[in-house]
């Protein structure tokens, strides 16, 4: 029973969520690693390795804390300290200057004030006063000799020393300096001053002594800047964490589970917590939904005609589901063994290289979580799939099946080796991985080629590989046709040339059209001599009634279907055999019967008895074979050898088919018809050894 299109669409819409949920569930359980019932303090009975690369948070935190602790404190030049030091400088020298006034009164003026000479006792009193005041007010201790020297030196010399002292103090305080740096810089400045003084060089030492007690480090600790620097160092390590690579052993058999190791096992989902990771499930659901959308958009835009057929949709889904389900079991033990290449070969055979490449990429992406997001798997899978699809699409002979297997295995081997060498893996591990990927590619291709006949039987479809096999002259049916019906065989070859050219011109399947043309007349094998092209002067129809002859002629499509099924031809070829005459009429014998009826004065024969009892073409390839068959038969019967006459004949034949509604279900457009006519003309131009005369042609 044929299901209405609306019901089919409804069923497809209902099945889509079920399919997505099933795939999500399969990937979820396939990517969840084996869990262990362990707690802190238990002794592990297993060797446990990391199922994916993960950051070692404990080691990262330890390294980050050490990096932060190693950051030196941030200090800056404090303007407050500088102001304090320079203020103290002025106060100390002002105090000394005040005592000097009494000793050197009038020396700085032109007054007539009489200078008084102080006794040593009075001078000592003033020295002691300065020492006391410095100690009490500023907690500064200077030697008695230095103070006495500053008090007793003449004004010009004192002012010069004070100026030198201020210059040195200002210079040293202009840059941030700590205690050690200050002492070193002061010594350098005093030594330099001593070399520049021509007289009284001992003053340099006194200036150094007084500055050494006045000056102090002018740096201040910047707590905010220090904390920021330490946080930056901490964050830098956190952003470049210590990683535990996939496959690294975390716990060895017999090791006690520590807090750190338990934390790592928990983060890797290796601890049996009897919980459900809804976040992880949601991530997989998002990923699969995205992949489904990409696949749907691509198929709708670029493969709408192919995917429109329900059988093609089922075949595509099955081709993807088989390696996906196999990966659920294989990826847990060996991620690189996932058979992505199986889908690449099948999809390339039925849908072409472009579709196979995209679908293989989407399949690889879906399997990636089950491999622990192994980048080597991604590269090898894409490389192997592209090579498998490329060789599958380009295959031309049956014995070249082995080339697909060899090319896929070789591509996997080279890709695995190259990445293993780049990652500096050990040779033993590298050779094992390479062997696994090569074996996976070989087995996947063998399985895909082996399952093709089952696909053809279940989904009533045919692959290019099967068509290539059927096109070989050594096929039993074609050999029979060549021996038993040589005229039909020759006719079929010419029809095949026309069908191939026309199908290729309109974007149909030229291989299917060509092979369909090879087999379209195999029904004539039941009575080959009753068909004109196989006769040699004697025509048995001259002794038969027109209705008998018509029944024999119009019965050859049904006979072809019987023979085709006996030889297990795929359904698309059976359809072409059945539909290549559609429901047209056998005009020659009908007119002959009508003439006999008119001469006998009886009722005209029933026209339906002279019609082929088959459906009109239901595909573009079937319609192309019908037109090619009719054109070739007419060209032979009319003995046409001129291009202009050939074009007129071709257009008349196609018009007759169109008037008889033989092309309604084929999907051909008026533009396709014109393209087909041009393709036919191109073939006959070569056959007649003439050039096609185009309207704008000019002599050359």
pLDDT for residue 400: 66
Question: Residues 6 or more apart from 590 whose CB is under 8 A from it?
Answer: 546, 550, 605, 607, 610
pLDDT tens digits, residue range 528-562? 888 888 788 777 877 788 888 888 888 888 999 99
- Residue 119 confidence (pLDDT) above 60: yes
Contact 665, 617 (CB under 8 A): yes
CATH topology of domain 38-56+243-274: Molybdopterin biosynthesis moea protein, domain 2 (3.90.105)
- Catalogue the long-range contacts made by 428-435 (C-beta closer than 8 Å, 24 or more residues apart): 433/336, 433/376
pLDDT tens digits, residue range 30-76? 877 777 778 888 888 878 877 777 788 888 888 999 999 988 888 88
Mean pLDDT of 296-308: 78
Q: Kindly indicate the confidence band of residue 226, based on its pLDDT and cuts at 50, 70 and 90.
A: confident
Mean pLDDT check: name the lowest of 219-223, 266-270, 517-521.
266-270
Positive or negative: CA dihedral 157, 160, 166, 167: negative
Q: Kindly indicate the confidence band of residue 460, based on its pLDDT and cuts at 50, 70 and 90.
A: low
Angle at 323 between CA 318 and CA 324, to 5 degrees: 90
The pTM of the full predicted model, rounded to 2 decimals, is 0.59
Q: Higher-confidence residue: 511 or 305?
A: 511
Which run of H or E residues covers position 468? helix 464-470
Is 38-56+243-274's fold the same as 471-688's?
no
Mean pLDDT check: name the lowest of 234-248, 512-526, 623-637.
234-248
Q: Of the CATH numbers 2.60.40, 1.10.10, 3.30.200, 1.10.3210, which one belongs to the domain with range 471-688?
A: 1.10.3210
Q: What is the rounded CA–CA span in Å between residue 48 and residue 36? A: 9
Contact 482, 408 (CB under 8 A): no
* DSSP state at residue 43: B
Q: What is the rounded CA–CA span in Å between residue 557 and residue 562? A: 9
For the chain, the structural domain boundaries read 5-28+277-460, 38-56+243-274, 75-221, 471-688
Distance, first Cα to last Cα, the chain:
62
- 3-state secondary structure string, 311-346? HHHHHHHHHHHHHHHHHHHHCCCCHHHCCHHHHHHH
Among 680, 585, 689, residue whose Cα is nearest residue 632: 680
- Residue 462 confidence (pLDDT) above 80: no
Among 507, 502, 513, residue whose Cα is nearest residue 617: 513
Contact 497, 467 (CB under 8 A): no
pLDDT tens digits, residue range 655-670? 998 888 888 888 888 8
Mean pLDDT of 456-481: 80
pLDDT for residue 689: 67
Among 562, 575, 462, 471, residue whose Cα is nearest residue 515: 471
Angle at 380 between CA 374 and CA 385, to 5 degrees: 125
């Amino acid at each position: 029973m044929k299901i209405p299109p609306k019901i089919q669409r409804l069923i497809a819409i209902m099945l889509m969520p079920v399919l997505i949920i099933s795939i999500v569930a399969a990937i979820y359980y396939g990517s969840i690693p084996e869990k262990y019932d362990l707690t802190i303090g238990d002794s592990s009975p297993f060797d446990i390795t990391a199922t994916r690369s993960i950051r070692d948070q404990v080691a990262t935190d330890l390294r980050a804390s050490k990096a932060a602790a190693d950051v030196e404190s941030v200090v800056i030049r404090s303007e407050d300290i500088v102001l304090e030091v320079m203020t103290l400088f002025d106060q100390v020298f002002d105090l000394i200057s005040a005592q000097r006034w009494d000793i050197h009164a009038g020396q700085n003026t032109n007054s007539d004030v009489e200078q008084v000479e102080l006794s040593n006792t009075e001078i000592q009193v003033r020295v002691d006063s300065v020492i006391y005041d410095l100690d009490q007010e500023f907690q500064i201790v200077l030697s008695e000799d230095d103070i006495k020297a500053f008090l007793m030196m003449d004004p010009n010399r004192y002012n010069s020393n004070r100026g030198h002292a201020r210059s040195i103090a200002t210079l040293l305080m202009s840059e941030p300096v700590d205690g050690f740096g200050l002492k070193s810089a002061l010594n350098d400045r005093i030594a330099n001053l001593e070399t520049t003084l021509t007289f009284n060089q001992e003053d340099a030492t006194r200036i150094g002594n007084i500055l050494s007690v006045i000056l102090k480090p002018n740096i201040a600790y910047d707590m905010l800047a220090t904390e920021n620097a330490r946080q930056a160092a901490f964050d830098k390590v956190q952003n470049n964490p210590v990683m535990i690579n996939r496959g690294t052993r975390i716990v060895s058999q017999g090791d006690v589970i520590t807090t750190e190791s338990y934390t790592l096992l928990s983060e890797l989902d290796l601890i049996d917590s009897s919980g459900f990771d809804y976040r992880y499930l949601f991530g997989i659901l998002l990923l699969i939904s995205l992949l489904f959308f990409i696949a749907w958009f691509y198929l709708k835009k670029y493969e709408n005609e192919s995917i429109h057929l329900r059988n093609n949709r089922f075949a595509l889904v099955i081709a993807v589901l088989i390696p996906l389900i196999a990966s659920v079991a294989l990826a847990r033990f060996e991620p690189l063994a996932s058979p992505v290449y199986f889908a690449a070969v099948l999809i390339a055979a039925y849908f072409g290289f472009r579709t196979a490449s995209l679908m293989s990429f989407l399949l690889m992406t879906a399997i990636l979580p089950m491999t622990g997001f192994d980048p080597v798997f991604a590269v090898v899978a894409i490389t192997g799939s592209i090579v498998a699809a490329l060789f599958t699409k380009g295959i031309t002979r049956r014995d070249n099946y082995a080339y697909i297997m060899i090319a896929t295995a070789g591509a996997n081997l080279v890709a695995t080796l190259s990445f293993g060498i780049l990652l500096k893996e050990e040779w033993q591990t590298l050779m094992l991985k390479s062997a696994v990927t090569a074996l996976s590619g070989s087995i996947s291709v063998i399985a895909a080629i082996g399952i093709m006949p089952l696909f053809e039987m279940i989904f009533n479809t045919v692959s290019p590989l099967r068509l290539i096999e059927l096109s070989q002259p050594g096929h039993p049916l074609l050999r029979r046709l060549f021996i038993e019906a040589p005229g039909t065989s020759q006719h079929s070859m010419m029809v095949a040339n026309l069908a191939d050219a026309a199908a290729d011109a309109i974007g149909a399947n030229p291989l299917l059209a060509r092979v369909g043309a090879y087999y379209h007349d195999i029904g004539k094998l039941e009575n080959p001599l009753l068909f004109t092209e196989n006769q040699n002067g004697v025509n048995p129809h001259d002794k038969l009634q027109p209705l008998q002859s018509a029944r024999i002629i119009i019965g050859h499509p049904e006979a072809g279907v019987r023979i085709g099924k006996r030889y297990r031809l795929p359904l698309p070829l059976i359809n072409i055999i059945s539909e290549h005459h559609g429901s047209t009429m056998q005009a020659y014998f009908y007119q002959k019967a009508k003439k006999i009826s008119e001469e006998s004065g009886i009722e005209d024969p029933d026209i339906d008895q002279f019609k082929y009892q088959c459906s009109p073409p239901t595909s573009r390839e079937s319609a192309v074979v019908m037109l090619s068959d009719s054109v070739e038969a007419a060209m032979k019967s009319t003995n046409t050898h001129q291009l202009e006459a050939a074009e007129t004949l071709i257009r008349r034949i196609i018009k007759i088919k169109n008037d008889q509604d033989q092309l309604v279900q084929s999907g051909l457009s008026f533009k396709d018809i014109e393209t087909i006519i041009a393709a036919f003309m191109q073939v006959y131009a070569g056959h007649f050894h003439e050039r096609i005369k185009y309207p704008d042609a000019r002599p050359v």
